[in-house]
């Protein structure tokens, strides 16, 4: 695979880079310690080996030295997309504990899962629930013992410097919105309740460093992910992240990201949601209106419910709480799950085609601009993908003309012997006409 063209975006603001001073990833090349006298700034770049990105990291002392290092790395033809490291943030807006409910024959919190009806997830399940498809949740870590996920979580690894033992709620909640089991008498249900989760830890409690995100995306693609969910973001572009996402999309992987939650506070464009080809997801309220707090701009592709979505949490104090969560962090995984269901019925479709089915079947709304094509409609997207896999029926061929001559009266004195006609010599039905395209 050829090396992607170098990005033209310039380095992110040094202020954003300062947030990442203490962050690194085992996947990155070991960086030397910086001399005393200034802050250590990490500069990441991509080396392309056999068509795959390999993250490399250098360390500079101070912003001026970091800028010189970026120019030096950009001049190296073996490297691309050098930039001072960026730190993104997880994007929840809040959560509210739901009251404990006793075990029932169905999922006890399903009554709270209004979002499954709003996006018509139920209508897709007779066709597929996503078995055999994988969604990578690159987040704060996923508790694989969560009852709604148990047996369907595979670890991609920890790409941060934070301990695996630290698993905050966010990643597990995102994973259950994607893939929470249906009909197991626990929790609510995910939009794609039979998919497998590939769990990669790319976020610490202090943020999500761009080098960890790059390493997580690379690992997810190599592990066979069909979809990558990124419920994180920030206002700064990052060239290494953008180039790695572009590479993942070229491998057929659908990348979904949360649009952001500061729509009422400046409404700045957020990344990685706004990179080309990424499905950027905004949010609606519990009443079905556009969420004013969610990012709304021309980069948004579609929306999904983003308030009071029931989600399962990691184990704490001997129990697994179910929480009503809010934010585009939990709208995005609904779209990621829908992409997985579409991939289940159209396994050969590329990322752009799957994105087109999702946006093309979204329910149009009388909302203000900036919320994309409308509300996600899972069942309609699955139908569109399924119907596209069935070739159109060939047109009926005209009936052949009669070939039997008119009967004539035999001579009065002669009775002809019957002549058998082998069936193999007759066309029992017209030969189908194969349509040309």
Least confident of 33-42, 82-91, 104-113, 378-387: 33-42
Q: In CATH, what number is assigned to the domain containing residue 144?
A: 3.40.50.200
Q: Are residues 98 and 203 in the same domain?
A: yes
Q: Are residues 377 and 300 in the same domain?
A: yes
Task: Give the range of the structural domain holding residue 57, as residue numbers without chain letter.
Answer: 14-86
Would you say 225 and 247 are in contact if contact means Cβ atoms under 8 Å apart?
Answer: no
Q: Are residues 200 and 69 in the same domain?
A: no
From CA 107, how far away is CA 64, in angstroms rounded? 57
Angle between helices 239-250 and 210-222 (to 10 degrees): 10
From CA 120, how far away is CA 309, in angstroms rounded? 15
Would you say 44 and 25 are in contact if contact means Cβ atoms under 8 Å apart?
Answer: no
From CA 391, how far away is CA 194, in angstroms rounded? 28
* Residue range 268-276: mean pLDDT, rounded: 96
* Residue range 376-389: mean pLDDT, rounded: 96
* Residue range 257-284: mean pLDDT, rounded: 96
What percentage of the chain reaches a pLDDT higher than 90?
A: 73
Among 86, 109, 124, the domain boundary falls at 86
Q: Considering only CA atoms, which of 227, 282, 221 is closest in space to residue 247?
A: 221
Phi, psi of 375 (to 5 degrees): -85, 135
Give 215-270 pLDDT, tens digit per residue. Answer: 999 999 999 999 999 999 999 999 999 999 999 999 999 999 999 999 999 999 99
- Please check whether residue 39 lies inside any domain of the structure: yes
Least confident of 17-31, 63-77, 207-221: 17-31
3-state secondary structure of 246: helix
Whether the per-residue pLDDT at 196 is higher than 70: the answer is yes
- Please check whether residue 404 lies inside any domain of the structure: no
The pLDDT of residue 217: 98
Residue 192 is encoded by which pair of tokens? 């794609």
Q: Are residues 205 and 243 in the same domain?
A: yes
Tokens 């259950």 map to which residue? 176
- Please check whether residue 434 lies inside any domain of the structure: no
Q: Which residues fall within 8 angstroms of residue 352, CB to CB, at 6 or more apart?
A: 249, 277
The pLDDT of residue 89: 87
The pLDDT of residue 90: 86
What percentage of the chain reaches a pLDDT higher than 70?
A: 77
From CA 169, how far away is CA 101, in angstroms rounded? 20
Give 23-54 pLDDT, tens digit per residue. Answer: 333 333 333 333 444 789 999 999 999 999 99
The pLDDT of residue 418: 42
Flag whether the pTM goes above 0.85. Answer: no
Q: Are residues 68 and 159 in the same domain?
A: no
Mean pLDDT (the chain) is: 84
Q: Are residues 63 and 172 in the same domain?
A: no
From CA 282, how far away is CA 374, in angstroms rounded? 10
Whether the per-residue pLDDT at 434 is higher than 90: the answer is no
Among 60, 86, 112, the domain boundary falls at 86
Positions marked active-site: 139, 170, 329
- Please check whether residue 187 lies inside any domain of the structure: yes
Lay out the sheet containing 302-305: strands in order across.
153-158, 196-201, 134-139, 227-230, 254-258, 279-284, 302-305
Q: Considering only CA atoms, which of 101, 66, 102 is closest in space to residue 85?
A: 66
Whether the per-residue pLDDT at 190 is higher than 50: the answer is yes
Q: Are residues 81 and 152 in the same domain?
A: no
DSSP one-letter string for 334-348:
HHHHHHHHHHHH-TT
- Please check whether residue 263 lies inside any domain of the structure: yes
Give 407-431 pLDDT, tens digit per residue. Answer: 555 555 544 444 343 333 323 323 3
Total of domains in the chain: 2
What is the sign of the dihedral through the CA atoms of 142, 145, 146 and 149? positive
Whether the per-residue pLDDT at 159 is higher than 80: the answer is yes
Q: Considering only CA atoms, which of 293, 285, 343 is closest in space to residue 93?
A: 293
- Please check whether residue 395 lies inside any domain of the structure: no
- Please check whether residue 373 lies inside any domain of the structure: yes
Phi, psi of 344 (to 5 degrees): -60, -35
pLDDT band at 100 (very low <50, low <70, confident <90, very high): low
* Residue range 87-104: mean pLDDT, rounded: 63
* Residue range 145-156: mean pLDDT, rounded: 97
From CA 313, how far away is CA 329, in angstroms rounded? 14
Q: Are residues 99 and 70 in the same domain?
A: no
Whether the per-residue pLDDT at 389 is higher than 90: the answer is no
Q: Are residues 41 and 107 in the same domain?
A: no
The pLDDT of residue 249: 98
Residue 46 is encoded by which pair of tokens? 């991509």
For the beta carbon of residue 226, count every other beta carbon within 10 angstroms. 26
Q: Are residues 42 and 152 in the same domain?
A: no
The distance in angstroms from the start CA to the end CA of the chain is: 30
Residues forming a β-bridge with 255? 228
DSSP letter assigned to residue 311: E
Give 332-369 pLDDT, tens digit per residue. Answer: 999 999 999 999 999 999 999 999 999 999 999 999 99
Among 354, 371, 388, the domain boundary falls at 388
Q: Are residues 260 and 325 in the same domain?
A: yes
Give 303-314 pLDDT, tens digit per residue. Answer: 999 999 999 999
Q: Are residues 59 and 120 in the same domain?
A: no
The pLDDT of residue 65: 93
- Please check whether residue 174 lies inside any domain of the structure: yes
């Amino acid at each position: 695979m050829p090396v992607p063209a170098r990005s033209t975006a310039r380095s992110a603001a040094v202020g954003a880079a300062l947030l990442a001073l203490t962050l690194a990833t085992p996947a990155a090349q070991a960086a030397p310690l910086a001399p005393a006298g200034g802050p250590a700034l990490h500069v990441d770049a991509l080396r392309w080996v056999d068509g795959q990105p390999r993250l490399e990291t250098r360390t500079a002392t101070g912003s001026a030295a970091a800028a010189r290092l970026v120019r030096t790395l950009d001049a190296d033809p073996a490297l691309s997309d050098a930039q001072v490291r960026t730190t993104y943030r997880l994007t929840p807006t809040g959560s509210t504990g739901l009251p404990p409910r006793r075990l029932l024959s169905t999922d006890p919190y399903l009554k709270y899962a209004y979002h499954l009806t709003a996006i018509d997830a139920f209508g897709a399940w007779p066709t597929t629930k996503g078995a055999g498809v994988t969604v990578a949740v690159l987040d704060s870590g996923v508790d694989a013992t969560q009852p709604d996920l148990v047996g369907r979580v595979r670890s991609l690894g920890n790409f941060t410097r934070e301990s695996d033992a630290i698993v905050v709620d966010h990643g597990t909640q995102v994973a259950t919105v994607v893939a929470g089991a249906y009909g197991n008498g626990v929790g609510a249900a995910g939009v794609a309740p039979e998919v497998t989760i590939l769990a990669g830890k790319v976020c610490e409690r202090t943020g999500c460093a761009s080098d960890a995100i790059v390493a997580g995306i690379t690992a997810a693609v190599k592990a066979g992910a069909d979809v990558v969910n990124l419920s994180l973001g920030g206002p700064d572009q990052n060239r290494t992240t953008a180039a790695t996402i572009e590479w993942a999309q070229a491998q057929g992987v659908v990348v979904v990201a949360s649009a952001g939650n500061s729509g009422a506070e400046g409404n700045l464009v957020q990344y990685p949601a706004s990179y080309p080809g990424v499905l950027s997801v905004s949010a609606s309220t519990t009443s079905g209106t556009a969420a004013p707090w969610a990012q709304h701009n021309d980069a948004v592709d579609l929306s999904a419910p983003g308030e009071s979505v029931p989600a399962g949490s990691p184990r704490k104090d001997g129990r697994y709480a179910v929480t009503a969560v809010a934010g585009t962090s939990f709208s995005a995984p609904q779209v990621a799950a829908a992409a997985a269901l579409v991939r289940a019925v159209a396994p050969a479709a590329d990322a752009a085609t799957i994105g087109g089915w999702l946006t093309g079947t979204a329910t149009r709304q009388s909302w203000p601009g900036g919320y994309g094509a409308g509300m996600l409609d899972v069942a309609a997207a699955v139908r569109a993908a399924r119907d596209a896999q069935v070739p159109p029926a060939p047109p009926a061929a005209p009936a052949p003309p009669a070939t039997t001559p008119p009967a004539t009266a035999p001579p009065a004195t002669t009775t002809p012997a019957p002549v058998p006609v082998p069936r193999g010599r007759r066309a029992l039905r017209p030969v189908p006409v194969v349509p040309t395209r």
